[in-house]
Amino acid sequence: MKYYAGIDLGGTFIKCGIVDEEGHILSKEKIPTGRERPYGEIARDMAQLAAGLAGRAGVPAGGLTAAGIGSPGIVDSARGIIVYNNNIGWKKVPLAAEVRKHLGVPVYATNDANAAALGESFAGTAKKFHSCVFVTLGTGVGGGIVADGALLEGNRSAGAEIGHMVIRAGGEKCTCGRKGCFEAYASATALIRQTKRAMEKDRASALWKIASTLDDVDGKTAFDGARMGDRTAEKVVKNYVAYLAEGLTNLANIFRPDAIVLGGGVCAEGEALLAPLRRKLNRMLYGGTKYAPVELLAASLGNDAGLVGAAHFAQQRAEEA
């Protein structure tokens, strides 16, 4: 059995796990990122954390085959360089090489959404499928595409920016500069904006009982209101689901994957979100659902998807090397 370290770099925490070649986590831990520090210190912490966890998992010294890092931002996976990370404020940081210096095994890096996609595909909800599109609904809409077990990263790993697919030309402004991006309608941020707008228009809505001020609105508010039977909340949810379904159907028609996997906080709604989405997707899917159906699933690894995927990414790259 071979063992890999999977590292999930976030703006607040660094999560690390020792993962075997079948995707089982043997040990894991998280430490604060301390993102204001020089990257060299952060890289050293990553290596120490991985080495310590390997020992704790009973992996003998020198028993780690490789390590993988999932990082936010644009990551040049062929070179292990964090090209641009808005979150931590990095530009062209040779993170993989830096961690390798301390850890002494090959280190690889990929984008965090790609890592999560690979994790769900290899060891999570999409394990039995050949191909999947992973869509994470958070501050933005991130994505990862897995075909025949491998990531489709695009030229210099700059692809899979599925949040920046316009679904309503001329619509909501997006942070990327375009108007009408999927992200501007389907992210948790977008849902919160939509909920606030609806509340401002309807002072009598039960939504005001769930969130007493607009600042208290989160991605759950509208779903909670809809469960209480509030008409305004129902409309917000219906509208959100409709746009989300448009984007997911686009991805289904473009990739025709075996499955679409939804991750991110909004997914905690479970079937309240998935059931109506599935109906819409199946109704809109090009050519219908008989010939090549597309499953719609919730992610199952939660916060571990990133580190499991990062470890598997390292496994794939180490095997190719």
Interface with a copy of itself by CB under 8 A: which residues? 74, 83-84, 130-131, 147, 152-156, 158-162, 164-171, 176-178, 180, 242-243, 246, 249-250, 253-258, 284, 286-287, 291-292, 294
Q: Of 320, 303, 304, 321, which is closest to residue 18 (Cα–Cα)?
A: 304
Q: At what angle do helices 39-56 and 95-103 cross, to 10 degrees?
A: 50
Q: Smallest distance from the beta carbon of 130 to a copy of itself, in angstroms?
A: 7
Quick one: 42 or 294, whose CB is closer to a copy of itself? Answer: 294
Q: Smallest distance from the beta carbon of 77 to a copy of itself, in angstroms?
A: 12
Q: Which H helix or E strand runs over 136?
A: strand 131-137
* 17 contacts 311 by C-beta, under 8 angstroms: yes
- Dist. CA 24–CA 123, nearest whole Å: 8
Q: Smallest distance from the beta carbon of 75 to a copy of itself, in angstroms?
A: 11
Quick one: 102 or 156, whose CB is closer to a copy of itself? Answer: 156
Q: Smallest distance from the beta carbon of 108 to a copy of itself, in angstroms?
A: 18
- DSSP secondary structure string for all residues of 208-266: HHH-SSGGG--TTHHHHHHHTT-HHHHHHHHHHHHHHHHHHHHHHHHH--SEEEEESGG
Q: Smallest distance from the beta carbon of 255 to a copy of itself, in angstroms?
A: 5
Quick one: 102 or 193, whose CB is closer to a copy of itself? Answer: 193
Return the CA Rg of the chain: 20
Token pair of 292, please?
């090549």
Quick one: 31 or 242, whose CB is closer to a copy of itself? Answer: 242
Quick one: 50 or 160, whose CB is closer to a copy of itself? Answer: 160
